[in-house]
Structure 1
Amino acid sequence: MTTAAKLPAEAAALPADLVQPLLEHAVAGGAPSVEVFAPATGRLVTELPQSSPGDIERAFATARAAQREWARRPVRERAAVLRRFHDIVLAEQDAILDIVQTETGKSRAHAFDEVGDVAVNARYYASVAEKLLATRKPRGVLPFLTQVDVRNRPKGVVAVISPWNYPLALAASDALPALVAGNAVVARPDNQTALTALWAIDAAVRAGLPRGLWQAVLGRGSVIGGEVIGRADYVDYTGSSATGRTIAQQAGELLIGYSLELGGKNPLLVLADADVSRAAKIAIRACFASAGQLCESMERIYVHEAVYDRFVAEFVANVRAIELGAELNYGSDMGSLTFQRQLDTVRAHVDDAVAKGATVLAGGRARPDLGPFFYEPTVLADVRPGMTVYREETFGPVVSIYRVASDEKAIEAANDTAYGLNASVWTKDVRRGREVAARINAGSVNVNEGFIAAWGSADAPSGGLGISGTGRRHGPEGLLKYTDTQTIAVQRVLPIAPLPGMSEELWAKTMTLYFNVMKTLRQK
């Protein structure tokens, strides 16, 4: 049985003097408010105001006015705001960790992952923005005579539609590069975790960001999502593949750009020569961070038959040792699910698998004795096609484990999915690990890690293939997607046309000679 540490009932309450100032950053109140409850205890957190179409229109009008002035500021001034924001997030992490835990139910260690992510991204984009946004001077069609400047212009107002599972990381780390690129941001955080996003906005204002440049409108996506997208110049969305398709269609009709990070059914491969003990230990975090409510987390483990029995024994023992709880300290290993619907999905997937012949090696039970939505970390074996959990994303603390006869069979099985977000490969032969990783259809693959190595490397792009999405966050791509390039070409001295008295035929022959000479000289 999984051990547990109960959450004190009083720990779910956030002080009113913390909550009320945050709500002032929301452009909301024109629609009826909703109640938000703490998942770990069921206690009321706040009455959350909601945004009407008029509120949304006002937010975008304010953002557009603020953006025009912000875009004229030197990039180094914009980057300085990110550096101060970085310092505030780290210095005040106890406050934001309390908010994240209260709103999501996750453990404090998993909440800290979000603090680390935001700090790393703030530092990275503050460091590289000036270089990435600098005017580039490529070669003109006629060297010395044609002078070309390529500039990166901000899109305007970016809509950041962020989910509830990583409310700080996915609200702030997408907004920061948009802001430093010269844009304004209108955020639509999930109602359940809106206070986290509002805290980030408040911290940014205290770091020197002009008021009105980063705003939040509040409401269910099905109610206000279309209103937000319809006014935006670019859309950044993280969430389900089904909603991603809808957003892509809306953005396509408006001819605006979008970036989508969607679902995953991520595989972890334990090759024949893997360090089994290390893999069995690190796989715990890879599978059960934030109670498995992470697009990057592992839901499928393929283990070479030569090490299968040993890996399963050690992995299951580690899973059974996980301590459940969501007290506002570092006392628990895994927290609660966030919604009843997530608990219902987890139960349905596990119950369906068991009814069709799967074996529960660990977990498999809800824990209402700990809180409304707690569910034990669960390991399933004997999972086969026809079981819901075999192909569908669970998005909860459930992983299926499979015996494979060879590394080739593991690669084949890993790629047998419509998703392609993240993967993990375990081997002592790093060269072999890289070769296997290159054959897996996923936007990121970690060798001898679960997800943090790739995700935490802010200079490298992150995103999905297949129905896991399109576009990238992190890296230069994560900033430049929020800009449009503009080419300014100046022609000097001679025109790109026949000289006076030159026939069109002679002009064509002259240019043909020029093109061939440039090719011979290997010039661009």
Structure 2
Amino acid sequence: MSAPNPAEAGGPLLHGPADPEHDLTASYALDRSYVDGLTRRILSTSGESVLVRSPLTGQPLAHVPQSSDDDVAEAFVRARRAQEAWARTPLDERSAMLLRLHDLILDRQDEIIDLIVWESGKARKHAFDEPLHVALTARYYARTAHQHLDTQRKIGVVPGLTRVEVNRVPKGVVGIISPWNYPFTMALCDGLPALLAGNAVVAKPDAQTMLSALLAVELLEQAGFPADLWQVVAGPGSRVGTRIIERADYICFTGSTATGRRVAQGCAERLIGCSLELGGKNPILVLRDADLERAAEGAVRASFSNAGQLCVSMERMFVADQVYDRFLERFVARTQAMTLGATLEWGNDMGSLISQEQLDTVVAHVDDAVAKGARVLAGGKARPDLGPYFYEPTILEGVSPDMTCFGHETFGPVVSVYRFHDEADAVARANAGEYGLNASIYSQDGERARAIARQIKCGTVNINEAFGATFASIDSPMGGMRESGMGRRQGSEGIHRYTESQSVATQRLIRFAPMFGMSDEAYGKMMTAQLRLMKKLGRP
């Protein structure tokens, strides 16, 4: 990605702070030809486009072409044609492409991170998580492909005479509707196992972060995946997303619970499967024996990574009364010491929110809480001096059920802190509400913490870590309980969701019916005796 002088790129496009140390005009501007090369990958004949601006400064980034209904239909025609040939491609060849993708991502990670920061406004260290996670995902599925997809032998009903095999057959064309908060990770990580399993993909990334998703498609092609295997369409979810649901063989959606309900309804109408990773109001528990320095450091990452715009980040913090004051002193000090800034460089602890809408939600939640008696221990203010959508990392105390942020997801850099006196009460409060995505427990007694984890109604629970331990352990499933979703990404569940299981049984010598003139009654008695014998022999 080149960085020409802003004047040569068409004038002063940036509207950030004037301080050269922080002003992106000092050293960066997106190359127009680079952006145009990416947006040409969108299937669009409508002639319409939408202007997208960087949340860091308000700078125009791209005119994103919009897809018509006919474009979506054509995307599926191309994808189905490509998928027929792709399903016959040997599994080892598919795996080799994933390994090439792994290397390409690591080789071009600086470019990837730059683009993520431009589009999402997040701090560079949080953007770094994205290529790291996708590379981990690519390598994991490449190395475990045969484990997940090879035909497996199962136990036949008659030992030695019934041979049973289970095949994993691709669904066909998978529709992936991905969000803006992790635009490179969410564009690719769910689709890689779908490709490995023999499917094609029609993807609709969020309009606010389309460029990162399009760079991902470029990398797929460079890794050797067929060009038509991964189609990209763009447009409002209410129209384009609906058209995808009407045509896909399976839907993978990441986003809000409200939209997830509509996706699930659309899939139910067609009797197709779906996996949904939805909202959360995630709890963190700091037990009385926690390492307080470690807990405070983890709490900062748990609450403020990507400015809190992370499905698995923490918005509710329950701290044991015995350590509450000492923990809070450390947590507040670390939060107040965080650095914010609009820059592509390393060094900042937090970046911007994505949009005015997201900023308005954060402001409304904090203002409502304060007006009703909550206390601001850190932060609590927007920072337009840094960029249009910056908001300080904020800690609230005294949040009560009548406040909006008590039970509603803020999806911003705001966390509420509560005391608890006994762990049973903390677990009950952590389980309150209808969400169940991620939780975190800090304790120096791992066995006890793991026992408490089994009582938490969340799809993932991290012990002495915020969210990275489960999210980066690709061999384990990740997803939500209750209104936080259904289905799982990662691990065997993350690839099997894109397949149909097909049982094939070959029977030898005997048939499942009377033989040699045997009566039905005698056949029934013989089969009953066989069942009793199999139990005595310890057979399953």
1:475 to 491, 494, 505: 491
Once residues 91 and 266 of structure 2 are traced to their aligned partners in structure 1, the CA distance between those partners, rounded to angstroms, is 32
Does residue 1:37 correspond to 2:53, yes or no? yes
Distance in 2 separating the partners of 1:73 and 1:152: 14
1:291 alignment partner in structure 2: 307
1:482-501 correspondence runs (5 A): 482-501=498-517
CA distance in 2, matches of 1:11, 1:221: 35
Once structures 1 and 2 are overlaid, which stretch shifts more, 220-229 or 492-501?
492-501
- TM-score scaled by length of structure 1: 0.98
Counterparts of 2:417 and 2:491, CA distance in 1: 33
**Alignment-derived partner of residue 347 in structure 2:** 331
* Cα distance per residue 1:441-491 (max 9 Å; x no partner): 100010100000011100000000110000000111000000001111222
State the match for 1:272 in structure 2.
Answer: 288
Q: Distance in 2 between matches of 1:13 and 1:432?
A: 52
**Structure 2 residue identity aligned to 1:357:** G
The equivalent position to 2:34 in structure 1, one of 18, 36, 54, is 18
Q: Which residue of 1 aligns with 2:144?
A: 128
Q: In the TM superposition, what whole-angstrom CA distance separates every residue of 1:257-283 from its partner, at most 9, and x where no partner exists? A: 000000000001110111111101111
- C-alpha separation between the residues in 2 aligned to 1:244 and 1:395? 16
Q: Distance in 1 between matches of 2:319 and 2:515?
A: 72
Residue 211 (structure 1) aligns with: 227
SS in 2 for 1:137: strand
Q: Report how far residue 94 of structure 1 moved.
A: 0.7
Code of the residue aligned with 1:281 in structure 2: it is: E
The Cα offsets for residues 417-436 of structure 1, whole Å up to 9 and x where unpaired, read as: 21000000011111111111
Q: How far has the Cα of 1:523 moved from its partner? A: 1.1
Q: Match for residue 419 of structure 2?
A: 403
Are 1:370 and 2:415 matched, yes or no?
A: no
Deviation at 1:111, TM superposition (A): 0.4
d(CA) in 1 for partners of 2:524 and 2:419? 67
Identity of paired residues, percent?
53
Equivalences for residues 420-459 of structure 1 within 5 A: 420-459=436-475
Q: CA deviation at 1:521?
A: 1.2
Deviation string 1:172-196 (CA, Å, 9 cap, x unpaired) is: 0000000000000000000111111
Q: Which runs of 5+ in 1 are unaligned?
A: none
Tell me if the contact between 2:22 and 2:341 (Cα under 8 Å) persists in the aligned partners: yes
Match of 2:444, SS?
A: coil
Contact 1:415 1:440 in 2 (8 A): yes
CA deviation after TM superposition for structure 1 residue 316, in Å? 0.5
**8 A Cα contact 1:497 1:507, kept in partner:** yes
Match of 1:148 in 2: 164
2:114 paired with 1:98: yes
Matches of residues 504-523 of structure 1 in structure 2 within 5 Å? Answer: 504-523=520-539
**1:147·1:491 contact (CA, 8 Å) conserved in 2?**
yes
Please state if 1:60 is matched with 2:82.
Answer: no
Quick check: 1:151–1:485 contact (8 Å CA) kept in 2? yes
Hey, what does 2:480 align to over in structure 1? Answer: 464
Structure 1 residues 195, 28: closer, same or farther in 2, change over 3 A? Answer: same
What is the distance in 1 between the residues matched to 2:448 and 2:22? 44
> What is the Cα deviation at residue 31 of structure 1?
5.0
Equivalent position to 1:87, from 85, 89, 103: 103
CA contact (8 A) 1:270 1:304 kept: yes
2:409 alignment partner AA: E
1:67 Cα deviation from its structure 2 partner: 0.4
SS for the counterpart of 1:497 is coil
- Say which of 387, 404, 414 aligns to 2:430: 414
* Residue 6 (structure 2) aligns with: none
CA contact (8 A) 1:241 1:467 kept: yes
Q: CA RMSD in A?
A: 1.2
- Structure 2 unmatched runs, 5+: 1-18
Q: Partner of 1:394 in structure 2?
A: 410
| Contact 1:337–1:373 (Cα < 8 Å) also in 2 | yes
SS for the counterpart of 1:445 is strand
Task: State how far apart, in whole Å, the 2-side matches of 1:7 and 1:436 are.
Answer: 47
Q: Is 1:234 aligned with 2:256?
A: no
SS in 1 for 2:139: helix
Partner SS, residue 144 of structure 1? coil
User: Structure 1 residues 487 and 213, CA, compared in 2 at 3 Å: closer, same or farther?
Assistant: same
Bigger RCO (CA 8 Å, 6+ sep): 1
The alignment covers a number of residue pairs equal to 521
- Following TM superposition, by how much is the alpha carbon of 1:519 offset from its aligned partner in structure 2, in angstroms? 1.2
Question: TM-score with structure 2 length normalisation?
Answer: 0.95
Task: Tell me if 1:170 matches 2:186.
Answer: yes
